[in-house]
Amino acid sequence: MISVIIAGFNGAMGQKAVQLVTATPEFQLAGVFNPHVTSRRATDYGLDDAVTVYNDLEQITTPADVWLDFSTPSGVATNAQFAITRRMRPVIGTSGLTEDQQRQLQATANARQLGGIIAPNFGLTAVLMMKFAQQAAAYLKRAEIVEYHHEDKVDAPSGTALNTARLIYEAQRVDEPQPSAELDPLGARGGDYHGIKIHAVRLPGVVADEEVIFGGPGETLTIKQSTTDRQSFMTGVRLAIAAVVQRQDLVIGLENIL
Amino acid sequence: MISVIIAGFNGAMGQKAVQLVTATPEFQLAGVFNPHVTSRRATDYGLDDAVTVYNDLEQITTPADVWLDFSTPSGVATNAQFAITRRMRPVIGTSGLTEDQQRQLQATANARQLGGIIAPNFGLTAVLMMKFAQQAAAYLKRAEIVEYHHEDKVDAPSGTALNTARLIYEAQRVDEPQPSAELDPLGARGGDYHGIKIHAVRLPGVVADEEVIFGGPGETLTIKQSTTDRQSFMTGVRLAIAAVVQRQDLVIGLENIL
Amino acid sequence: MISVIIAGFNGAMGQKAVQLVTATPEFQLAGVFNPHVTSRRATDYGLDDAVTVYNDLEQITTPADVWLDFSTPSGVATNAQFAITRRMRPVIGTSGLTEDQQRQLQATANARQLGGIIAPNFGLTAVLMMKFAQQAAAYLKRAEIVEYHHEDKVDAPSGTALNTARLIYEAQRVDEPQPSAELDPLGARGGDYHGIKIHAVRLPGVVADEEVIFGGPGETLTIKQSTTDRQSFMTGVRLAIAAVVQRQDLVIGLENIL
Amino acid sequence: MISVIIAGFNGAMGQKAVQLVTATPEFQLAGVFNPHVTSRRATDYGLDDAVTVYNDLEQITTPADVWLDFSTPSGVATNAQFAITRRMRPVIGTSGLTEDQQRQLQATANARQLGGIIAPNFGLTAVLMMKFAQQAAAYLKRAEIVEYHHEDKVDAPSGTALNTARLIYEAQRVDEPQPSAELDPLGARGGDYHGIKIHAVRLPGVVADEEVIFGGPGETLTIKQSTTDRQSFMTGVRLAIAAVVQRQDLVIGLENIL
């Protein structure tokens, strides 16, 4: 049985995390934390009486096995540091940690041989897609990425698409070859990352899909990840919790525990 | 039995056309034409003795039912004009006719109640895709196009993709709505035609594919056309030959006979 | 402004219908009906005071323009009959009407030159897919259907898949040709409807998708419909309401008003 | 520079192999072998004079680095045995070796620390697809396979599809869960391998495609391999030749060198 404290328990992701931990027989929800709540009665949040509600880190005198963090960019660094010093393994889904902060947390955790994970994306299929793309890139020299998101996403390309391009480039270490004289008056060839083209589609009816297409003589390989419901992220969180209690180091990116 | 004369019979498309007409029981290859060949012996070109080889239009004193043209941009206008005046129904796959020339040929043929077709694309699935896209555009207000071609194609987007966007726009008559403030530093959102985005993928292993994706609340509709072999164009040519002998007018675009 | 009474207003589909009618400026929610509710206070259901709640058909003395029915198989026939005799145009999404009942309602409505629609499926993209499949079937002689649903769907194939196969067959009027001696020990070739093969995939993470693939020499045409959220059905309902006030007959199937 | 002798050099695959070896700067075509040819003049086969033509194994006194075999089921065992005893690394694409013969060749090669490969499928993207499917199967418990082939393929499912199902099962070691009471009067749910469903589509216009779809809560992962031209197999052959000169053992399956 793995005991868990959830930071940011009443945000959108935090609520899904509470459901996940409660519904998983091997997990036990020991406590929840949010410095901005006033009531400390569990039942006020629809939680079981056995769950302790904290609104100050100093109240946490009984550490859990795992610190699951879906709090805020401003609080996450302090939370993670606190968790590690109390020997609670951090599983961090909150964005906002700088690379410096990440390295520092990693050093602190590793020095104590404490497992942990900081992950920008807990989507299991997204991470598997990136992992496979990196492997395929060693054998197939040409790749393009097409990502599809709902029409309200205003930035393009998606972080996952850009990250996938980066992983492909790291595996190939040379810019992908391009036709020498391309005629493209409208910019239809899309964004470019070291020769890897990225195309962003925005349409209602789509949640979040991404595909990488590799081409070689007479054949193509397509790896496509499709999301129909945001609850998908919880599959990755469950894997992360199970992994950190087995590890003695803190890793960055879900791909490192798959 | 429909008799056919093929102009440009020894080019890449012309050769496929000869195969098609020869292999179709309802068609009869009456003659072939190319002003640049010197020998007029059918067997020199692997053709049956019953086929007459012409290298000058004036030699053609016995008109066929259909004039199938896969010749050259410089010769096609004269060829088509000649065919119509001899009451041979023109099926024109050669590019290079100006809009003026097309209108003039149409007027001449229609005045004589002679069937005919000028088609930039004889790909049946491409034309069906465009036709369906135009219909869907009346009900679904947002669409994007992704086209995939082999890496040697240097221009983007494809003519079919641009034509599809034009047909969608004609059905909607308003620019598609776009997010007001889009962040797209790399140009990943692709080419734009009245709000319809066009994405061009170039990869080895692909011949020529194109898809239109329509999005509405909670659902998408994708119409995808995929080519694995250039012989596909001959399906459209066969339909065109069968159609022009039934019509009394000349149409532009295969979609008008489907 | 089109006034609407919704039958079955507090079921899953009925609630979405209430949202739709309330949110559409051209529509006005005049009343709601369910014989099983006891309170007749609109605010008890979160509705505006201006909406009349009925729990007996006889209370409905002020007819609306449209009767939108998402009630129950046992009540729908009586509801529809009532609506027509009061000159309310029926838009019926409730299943359970026999073919006899449908014909009778159609005869009654048509005799009064009253518009109406009975639709087993209000999914716009599903209906467009079926419509395009029927058109394509006239030109491409070979088709297969692959449908994808969530793992809790216990029947296969889906009604939409079977309906699509039926429409293709009606357009072709001959059984599709099959290889003479097929070796298929596991039954991987799927279900058969007059030579059109149907494949049913059941997986978590899928809501409801369906694709028809047509094949011809060197090319394929794929028409795919994908659902990410059940709210998609409301697009078809909106189109149906707008259509029935313009028509003088009752049609069966959303495809007949597209 | 790697020298190569090709067995079965004038068959369909053999000819492609000759092209590949000739066109690759790092490879050198030292000889070709076929016991059924009579002329031993290289130019009779369009080959360079420097290539030796053998029609008897005993003529081969100068071994090459690699023995590339696309011969016949009846000759391949003797060929491979001969190659190994002369320290030529075997790259075997010919089918027909029994499991016993494969094990014996493996034992002989390994005892001499000689690299080699026997591969039923040199398609690179097919092998990568299988490899990734096996990895994904550890994290996603439900999968189905859809394979698409041209209409002349009379057996179903394809060997690759069945092999993929086997790899998924080996990774999971439990039968995939199925709905308890499935209603499937037409057999639309397809073939079954330990709970993994396999669907086979046969259509003109398709060469050979295969996709594995994994489903989890709210998300899917699709790995699709598509072939447009049979030349694709040569990519795998090139990788195999490069690999065997580096290895000290004989492996079975291209996946073992990727």
What mean pLDDT is reported for chain A?
95
Residue B153, pLDDT > 90, answer no
Same domain, C223 and C235: no
Same domain, C221 and C235: no
- The predicted-structure confidence for B41-74, as pLDDT tens digits, reads as follows 999 999 999 999 999 999 999 999 999 999 999 9
Q: Quick one: pLDDT at residue B179?
A: 65
Does C226 contact A232 at a Cβ distance shorter than 8 Å? no
For residues A29 and A226, what is the distance between their CA atoms, to the nearest angstrom? 30
Same domain, C186 and C154: yes
Does C228 contact A228 at a Cβ distance shorter than 8 Å? yes
- CATH no. for residue B129? 3.30.360.10
- Enumerate the residues of chain D whose CB falls inside 8 A of the CB of residue C217: 204-205
Backbone angles phi, psi at B141, to 5 degrees: -85, -10
Does D223 contact A226 at a Cβ distance shorter than 8 Å? no
Same domain, C158 and C194: yes
Same domain, C107 and C7: yes
Q: Quick one: pLDDT at residue C31?
A: 98
Chain D residue with minimum CA distance to B230: D205
The answer to whether A238 touches A20, Cβ cutoff 8 Å, is yes
Same domain, B102 and B32: yes
Same domain, C215 and C251: no
pLDDT category at A230 given cuts 50, 70, 90 is confident
Q: Quick one: pLDDT at residue D96?
A: 86
Total domain count, chain D? 2
For residues C60 and C38, what is the distance between their CA atoms, to the nearest angstrom? 16
Q: Quick one: pLDDT at residue D179?
A: 64
Residue A178, pLDDT > 80, answer no
For residues B127 and B207, what is the distance between their CA atoms, to the nearest angstrom? 17
What is the average pLDDT across A214-240?
95
Q: Please indicate if any CB of chain D lies within 8 Å of the CB of C161.
A: yes
Strands (E) in chain A, as ranges, are: 2-7, 27-33, 52-54, 66-69, 89-92, 116-118, 142-149, 191-193, 196-202, 208-216, 219-227, 250-252
Catalytic residue among A16, A141, A153, A199: A153
Among candidates C156, C193, C215 on the partner chain, residue whose Cβ is nearest the Cβ of D203: C215
For residues D224 and D204, what is the distance between their CA atoms, to the nearest angstrom? 19
- The predicted-structure confidence for D110-167, as pLDDT tens digits, reads as follows 999 999 999 988 999 999 999 999 999 999 999 999 999 999 888 899 989 999 999 9
Interface of D with A in 101-130 (CB under 8 A): 123-125, 128-129
Same domain, C11 and C137: no
Chains contacting chain B through 3 or more C-beta pairs under 8 A: A, C, D
* Residue C114 structural domain: 2-118+231-257
Percent with pLDDT over 90 in chain C: 88
Q: Quick one: pLDDT at residue A181?
A: 64
What are the start-end ranges of the H helices in D34-137? 76-85, 99-111, 124-136
Same domain, A114 and A20: yes
Q: Quick one: pLDDT at residue B181?
A: 65
Give the ipTM: 0.86
Same domain, C79 and C186: no
Residue B180, pLDDT > 80, answer no
Q: Is D153 noted as a catalytic residue in this protein?
A: yes
Q: Quick one: pLDDT at residue A177?
A: 78
pTM of the model: 0.90
Q: Please indicate if any CB of chain A lies within 8 Å of the CB of C207.
A: yes
- CATH no. for residue C91? 3.40.50.720
Same domain, B18 and B84: yes
Same domain, B148 and B250: no
Q: Is A153 noted as a catalytic residue in this protein?
A: yes
